């Protein structure tokens, strides 16, 4: 979530793509895919608006510097050495609050059957609170960088990148076969759902370098 900060992402199986291609409309009281995208978009916009406020604060900027440009924000030439692990502690505690609020709101969304698995992937929980707590006790960036909590965080980000690459390959292959020809909501709606679910455009390009001095 949000970078998508928001344990663990599973690679999207071909069976999921097949389920998505089976149809674009829900039945009965179930949300349609369009309604679902609207609901997810509202959750995302609520989170990102709070994140924008956070990264504008002195402590919050460390989130951009430590992970590199993402989500359209720029780190403006600042260096990690301009901040301390305690700055990250403050910022990550707020990110953890945003994540918790987002997951609570998402719990009220019942996804259409064909995107139920991708919904579960989207509203996953990254180990942010654990990293925030560890940052509060670290003497310096070297100590925090070598901590198990940072390793778990980097692994979570890397797994998200792998999921994005896997799904994109499946999506490209399906589109290349013309499978979307008779499905009006494809590929635009699917692209939106995948972007919200995996946050591919917002992830750090080099997860293993996150907050590495």
* Residue at token pair 């799904």: 167
pLDDT confidence of residue 144: 97
Q: Give a yes or no: residue 203 inside a domain.
A: yes
Nearest CA among 106, 203, 108, 110 for reference residue 156: 203
Low-confidence ranges of the chain (pLDDT < 70): 1-29, 68-77, 115, 118, 121-122, 167-204
160 with 4: CB under 8 angstroms?
A: yes
Q: Give a yes or no: residue 4 inside a domain.
A: no
pTM of the model: 0.72
pLDDT confidence of residue 47: 85
Q: Give a yes or no: residue 117 inside a domain.
A: yes
193 with 40: CB under 8 angstroms?
A: yes
Nearest CA among 1, 15, 4 for reference residue 167: 15
Q: C-alpha distances in angstroms, 200 versus 6, 31, 56, 185?
A: 12, 24, 23, 20
pLDDT confidence of residue 29: 66
Number of structural domains the chain divides into: 1
Q: Give a yes or no: residue 3 inside a domain.
A: no
pLDDT confidence of residue 4: 46
pLDDT confidence of residue 89: 97
Q: Give a yes or no: residue 33 inside a domain.
A: yes
Q: Give a yes or no: residue 46 inside a domain.
A: yes
Q: Give a yes or no: residue 8 inside a domain.
A: no
Residue 165: strand, helix, or coil: helix
pLDDT confidence of residue 84: 94
How many beta carbons lie within 10 A of that of residue 14, not counting itself? 12
Specify which residues 73 forms β-bridges with: 70
Domain that holds residue 110: 14-209
Q: Give a yes or no: residue 9 inside a domain.
A: no
């Amino acid at each position: 979530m949000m970078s998508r900060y928001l344990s663990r992402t599973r690679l999207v199986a071909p069976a999921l793509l097949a389920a998505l291609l089976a149809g674009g409309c829900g039945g009965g009281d179930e949300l349609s895919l369009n309604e679902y995208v609207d609901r997810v978009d509202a959750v995302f916009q609520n989170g990102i608006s709070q994140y924008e406020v956070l990264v504008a604060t002195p402590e919050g900027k460390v989130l951009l510097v430590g992970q590199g440009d993402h989500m359209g924000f720029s780190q403006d030439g600042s260096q990690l050495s301009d901040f301390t692990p305690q700055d990250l502690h403050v910022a990550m505690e707020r990110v953890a609050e945003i994540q918790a609020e987002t997951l609570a709101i998402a719990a009220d969304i019942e996804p259409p059957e064909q995107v139920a698995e991708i919904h579960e992937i989207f509203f996953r929980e990254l180990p942010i609170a654990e990293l925030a707590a560890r940052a509060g006790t670290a003497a310096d960036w070297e100590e925090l960088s070598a901590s198990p909590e940072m390793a778990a965080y980097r692994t979570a980000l890397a797994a998200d990148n792998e999921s994005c690459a896997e799904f994109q390959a499946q999506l490209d292959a399906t589109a290349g076969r013309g499978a979307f020809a008779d499905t009006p909501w494809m590929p635009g709606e699917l692209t939106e759902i995948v972007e919200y679910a995996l946050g591919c455009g917002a992830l750090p390009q080099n997860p293993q370098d996150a907050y590495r001095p």
